[in-house]
Structure 1
Amino acid sequence: MVMERISMNLVIDVLKLHYQDQCSNRGIAKRLGISRPTVQKYLDLTKEGGIDQ
């Protein structure tokens, strides 16, 4: 199975925009230049890992 490499800096940016700035997934995607599904994937992964807040 091929594992995708994820930038922790990008994950941190997603979390900050989501929790601190209350940005929508669409807004986060637009600001960071990534897709909405990628934003959701990062939020889901951090929630599963217990590091979402």
Structure 2
Amino acid sequence: MQKEYQLKEITIPIMFCFDKNYAIPASVAFYSLLKNANRFYEVDSTYGGG
């Protein structure tokens, strides 16, 4: 028998890595992720600056 999970019980890990050339596209991705979120996300990001 399959286990049924509620959407809110699963946390999805997400990692963003970007530098100054992708700061705007990364912010669009963050915004879209939050606006359309129907689950819990654990978001980590690194910024290379260069």
* TM-score calculated relative to the size of structure 2: 0.32
Give the structure with higher Rg (CA): 2
If asked which structure has higher relative contact order (CA below 8 Å, sep 6+), I would say: 2
Q: Higher strand share goes to which structure?
A: 2
Q: Higher helix share goes to which structure?
A: 1
